[in-house]
Structure 1
Amino acid sequence: MPVVESLICKETDGKLSFGNYILSTKSKVEDFGHEGDVYKVKTFKEITKLERNSAFVFESVPGSAVIEFETTPDLTTFDIYGFGDTQITIGLEEDTEYEVYIDDVSIGGMKTNLSGKLIFSVELSENKSKVIVKKR
C-alpha cells in the first residue's frame, strides 16, 4: 500500500497526493504552494488532515494516504489507502446535496451541514478505494 513519503506532493497531472498512515508520530508540512494556494498537511496513523489557505479541506480518521486528490465546485475525486473503517470529512459548499460513490457504487445522497462539511465512512483494506463526490 502506498504512502506519500514527502507527506504532500504534486503529481505529474497536477493533482495532489498527501498523507502517511503508517507514521507513529504526528508529522506536518506547512506552506506547500500549489496553483496559487498554500496547503498544510498533518498526518500519522490516527489522523490525516489537509487545509488550503488556512481553510479545512479534508480529514480522515484514522490516518490515510490520499492519491490524486482533485476538487472543483461540482466534483471531488481521489483514491484512498488505509486500514479499517475510516471516517472521511470533506469541506464543500454549505447546505448542498452531493452523491457519494465508493469504487463506482453510490452510497447515496448526502447533504453538507451549515459549515459545508460532508461526512461519510469507507472500509479500507490492502487495496485502494476510489471516492467520487458529485454535486447534485
Structure 2
Amino acid sequence: MSVINELIRTEANGTLSFGNYSLAAKSKVEDFEHEGDLYKVKTFKEITKLERNGMFVYESVPGTAVTEFAVTDTTVTFKVEGFEDAQITVQLEDDCEYEIYEDGVGVGGMKTNMSGKLSLSVELNEGKEVEVKIVRK
C-alpha cells in the first residue's frame, strides 16, 4: 500500500481510500461524492481527517493513508499505513461496546463515549499496512 495521491478515491469494491501522510503541507478535497454522501478529507504528515456530510468520521495523529474503509451497521474495517504509530479516532454509535482487531488479532474491547467516539493506538511502520476491524458487541 502507499499514500493516496488523489487524497480520496472510491475503490472497485465500493470502499473508500484516503490520506497522504507524506505531504509536508495540508491538502484537502471537499465535496467528494460516494454513495450519495459528500466527503471531505484533510491530510498531511501531522493529521488525516475524514468527514461525511459535515460530520466527523475518522482522524489520525500523525497522518495516515487508509484503504478499503467500509462501515456497516455493526462493523468498521480499514487498512492503515503511516510512518510511525498513530492515535486513531473513529465515529461510532454512542455508548456502545466494541471489540477491536488488528491484523486479525483481538486487542481488546472498548466502549464509546457519549459522543460515539472511539480512540485506539495502532503500531505502524512505513511500508507495512495494518488491517483494523472494529465490531459492535
Report the TM-score when normalising by structure 2: 0.98
Tell me the residue number matched to 1:131.
132
How far apart are 1:35 and its partner, in Å? 0.4
* Counterpart AA for 2:96: T
How far apart are 1:22 and its partner, in Å? 0.2
Q: Write the distance in 2 (CA, Å) between the matches of 1:73 and 1:118.
A: 16
Tell me the residue number matched to 1:39.
39
* Counterpart AA for 2:130: S
Superimposed CA distance per residue, residues 76-117 of structure 1 (whole angstroms, 9 cap, x where no aligned partner):
000001022200000000000000001111110100001000
How far apart are 1:16 and its partner, in Å? 0.2
CA RMSD of aligned residues (A): 0.7
How far apart are 1:73 and its partner, in Å? 1.6
How many residues are matched?
A: 136
* Counterpart AA for 2:133: I
Aligned-residue sequence identity (percent) comes to 61
Q: Which runs of 4+ in 1 moved over 2 A?
A: none
- Match of 1:84, SS state, is coil
- Match of 2:13, SS state, is coil
1:70-81 matches, within 5 Å, as 70-81=70-81
Tell me the residue number matched to 1:82.
82
Instruction: Give the unaligned 5+ runs of structure 1.
Output: none
Q: Write the distance in 1 (CA, Å) between the matches of 2:85 and 2:8.
A: 23
Tell me the residue number matched to 1:103.
103
Tell me the residue number matched to 2:56.
56
* Counterpart AA for 1:41: V
* Counterpart AA for 2:6: S
How far apart are 1:72 and its partner, in Å? 1.0
How far apart are 1:58 and its partner, in Å? 0.3
Q: Write the distance in 1 (CA, Å) between the matches of 2:58 and 2:52.
A: 9
Q: Write the distance in 1 (CA, Å) between the matches of 2:52 and 2:13.
A: 19
